[in-house]
Amino acid sequence: MNQVGSLAPVKRISEKVSVQTPEQIQFEFELAGVSARMMAYLLDLLIRAGVISVVSTILVMTTSWASEGLSAGLVLILAFVVEWGYNTLLEWRFNGVTPGKKALGIRVVRTDGVSIDFVRSAMRNFLRAADIFPFFYAAGVLTMFFTGTQRRLGDLAADTMVIREKRSPLRDLPPLPLNPVEIPAGALMQLGIRDRDLMIIDEFFRRRHLFSEDRADEIAAVLGDPVAKKLGIEGGGSELVLAGMLLAGNEVRSSWYGRSTATSIPGASGGAR
Amino acid sequence: MIKQDFMEQRRVRWERLEQVLRRLETGRSGKIAQHELDEFVHLYRIACSDLARARSQDLGDDVESYLNAIVARGHKQFRPRTSPDRRRFFEFFTHDFPRAVRAQKWYVLAATLLFVVPIVITAWAVVNDPDIAYSLSDPAQLEMLTDAYAEGHQGGRSEGEDSLMTGFYVHNNVGIAFRCFATGAFFGLGSIFFLVLNGVMGGAVGAYICVAGYSQSFLSFVIGHGAFELTAIVLSGATGIKLGMILVNPGPYSRVDALKMKSRQMINVVLGAAAMLLVAALLEGFWSPSGAAPMIKFIVGGVLWVLVISYLMLAGRVGESR
């Protein structure tokens, strides 16, 4: 919370991997961390235990009249299939997702971002036997730290990685106060206001309703007052200055964009019929 | 505001793309109509170019990360087309598996030696001094096994016990084979360890039982399923050593690329070995302990060995690239 007032760039601890599409467009995947993967694993473990206990109860009820040995044998085979098949088959069938991974919002993909096939799924999941060595995935977690791309031995052998599924909704401008201070678009560039600063202002207005009037003033003053002073703006609260900056920032982008459309990119509009 | 215009203009398409994506992500691939796929590809391309545009013209982090997210989601939908059908399943056993085994024959030879030499050495040692077996294996277990073979299998076993043991062999042995392969990731050391360990234990226990005078009962039990079980353990160990060796010496490629090139082959051998262990489990559960005369078991077992080895050496030779 103390961070809100400062303009120090807030860096989240997450690693990103860049991937290029055949269209030569780069985009980023965010890697899933150890903790998310561990939670997903534990969840899957619970589900596996649930499946085994339910199905084996059914097996015992339907086959034990023949012989107890038969049902015990079937239960052992079931345990084998679930232990080795659960991840392999689900990740293959459902595009890199198991129920546990789904719940944690993570997914297995090839390192080039394409979905995995059976061989990769089998490779990364059979190698769990090595990752699990000598206890509770110690080898796997160690390699995850050293690879830098959070991959365990199975991932390295299968050339896969686990990514965070990101949903990033498209947002309109946040609700702004009435009568924002008029700020010329060019002034922002002179002051060296960057996109990241504007993002923080954007975030501030999105959370504006969480603060009391006094607190909001206090926060807004950190950036608003120096800017107002430099531009020689008298009166008008610091919030109104911030709102003006946000609007001006949008204008800057738009005008850059407008200038580029004059020499418009043929491919970009050609695709849109 | 031109940024706003751009968003208004494109938004319909982005939202439609999200809709199609949702269907692709949740639906089964068979139920997606061709025109939807065409639409997806079309919309995905547009989103790609929009992302490049948003970036180069600095339309803001919000638009950029939104487009980044939908492009990433779309990208994941592209997948290699590998729908396994019945023909592929059949071909796996007639071609892929034996070929993959032959492709790594030197590793198979090495694994065989790592398995057989410890058997011979410990067996020889135990024959000379049976007490050695006690230091290699749990004495109580040794006595139990000896008693079991002393009883022999002339009476056969109940069917229930057969099924139980089959389940146990599947659970236990295939798991061992997978582990024997996977621990090869530690530069092959895990696989070597498991091969030698299994050899030492097997040699000690087998020799002890034979010295105790039940060699016929023991050998006639082992020979039938051994053709599948022992070979499969050696094969998965060989694949593990290969995995380790690729890590140690990837040749002119990066380690990841070297692994990538061989991974299908390695997985084929491991899956084939697993299938062999399923056969072994059935044999070990139902045939090996049956009341059939030892002579018949030896003959059948011998035939199985010949079949397994000639299958691995000869199947799928026609048209094999070398």
CB A165 within 8 A of CB A107: yes
**Residue in B closest to A68 by C-alpha:** B160
- What would the pLDDT profile of B281-301 be if each residue is shown by its tens digit? 889 888 888 878 888 999 999
Q: Would A117 be classed as within a structural domain?
A: yes
CB A107 within 8 A of CB B73: no
Query: What is the spatial distance between Cα B28 and Cα A22, in angstroms, rounded to a whole number?
Result: 25
> Which of A121, A140, A164 is a domain's end point?
A164
Residue A183 and residue A136 share a domain: no
Peptide bond into A134 cis (omega under 30): yes
Query: What is the spatial distance between Cα B313 and Cα B316, in angstroms, rounded to a whole number?
Result: 9
User: Interface pTM (ipTM) of the complex?
Assistant: 0.80
CB B47 within 8 A of CB B17: yes
DSSP conformation class of A23 = T
The candidate with the shortest Cα–Cα distance to B176, out of B100, B242, B274, B246, is B274
Residue A154 and residue A51 share a domain: yes
Residue A147 and residue A204 share a domain: no
Q: Would A71 be classed as within a structural domain?
A: yes
Report the residue from A69, A76, A139 with minimal CB separation from B171.
A76
Mean pLDDT of chain B: 86
Residue A157 and residue A118 share a domain: yes
| Residues 232-251, chain B, touching A (beta carbon < 8 A) | 243
Residue A185 and residue A146 share a domain: no
State mean pLDDT over B299-305. 94
Q: Would A214 be classed as within a structural domain?
A: yes
Q: Would A256 be classed as within a structural domain?
A: yes
pLDDT at B118 over 80: yes
* Residues in chain A closer than 8 A to B72 (CB atoms): 19, 27-29, 113, 163, 166
Residue B86: the pLDDT is 65
CA dihedral B231, B234, B235, B238 (to 10 degrees): -160
DSSP conformation class of A2 = G
CB A252 within 8 A of CB A183: no
CB B164 within 8 A of CB A69: yes
Point out which residues pair with A29 in neighbouring strands.
A17
Q: Would A93 be classed as within a structural domain?
A: yes
Residue A137 and residue A20 share a domain: yes
- What would the pLDDT profile of B230-263 be if each residue is shown by its tens digit? 999 999 999 999 999 998 999 899 888 888 888 8
Residue A182 and residue A112 share a domain: no
Residue A256: the pLDDT is 44
| Residues 205-234, chain B, touching A (beta carbon < 8 A) | none
Residue A121 and residue A40 share a domain: yes
Indicate the number of domains in chain A.
2
**Residue in B closest to A251 by C-alpha:** B1
Residue A192 and residue A121 share a domain: no
The phi and psi torsions of A110 (rounded to 5 degrees) equal: -65, 160
Residue A261: the pLDDT is 36
Residue A124: the pLDDT is 92
Residue B80: the pLDDT is 61
Range in A55-69, A89-103, A242-256 the model is least confident about: A242-256
Supply the range of the domain harboring residue A129: 16-164
pLDDT: which is higher, B30 or B1:
B30
Residue A50: the pLDDT is 96
> Which of A144, A164, A184 is a domain's end point?
A164
- What would the pLDDT profile of A14-39 be if each residue is shown by its tens digit? 578 888 877 777 888 889 988 999 99
Query: What is the spatial distance between Cα A161 and Cα A15, in angstroms, rounded to a whole number?
Result: 12
Report the residue from B4, B49, B73 with minimal CB separation from A268.
B49
Range in A105-109, A235-239, B17-21, B258-262 the model is least confident about: A235-239
CA distances from B239 to B15, B107, B190, B266 (A): 48, 7, 11, 6
Q: Determine the distance from the C-alpha atom of residue B301 to the mean position of all C-alpha atoms in its chain, rounded to a whole number.
A: 25
Q: Would A4 be classed as within a structural domain?
A: no
Report the residue from B1, B158, B167 with minimal CB separation from A76.
B167
Confidence of residue B27 (pLDDT cuts 50, 70, 90): low
- What would the pLDDT profile of B155-213 be if each residue is shown by its tens digit? 556 767 788 888 888 888 888 888 899 999 999 999 999 999 999 998 998 999 888 88
State mean pLDDT over B94-113. 94
Q: Report which listed range, A210-219, B75-84, B139-148, is most confident.
A: A210-219
> Which of A164, A193, A216 is a domain's end point?
A164
SS3 B274: helix
SS3 A114: coil
Which residues make Cβ contacts (< 8 Å) with residue A11, sequence separation at least 6? none
Q: What region, left, alpha or beta, does residue B132 occupy, with left being phi > 0 and alpha being psi -120 to 50 degrees? A: alpha
Residue A131 and residue A20 share a domain: yes
Query: What is the spatial distance between Cα B35 and Cα B18, in angstroms, rounded to a whole number?
Result: 16
Residue A46 and residue A132 share a domain: yes
Q: Would A125 be classed as within a structural domain?
A: yes
Residue A213 and residue A92 share a domain: no
Query: What is the spatial distance between Cα B267 and Cα B269, in angstroms, rounded to a whole number?
Result: 5
Q: Would A3 be classed as within a structural domain?
A: no
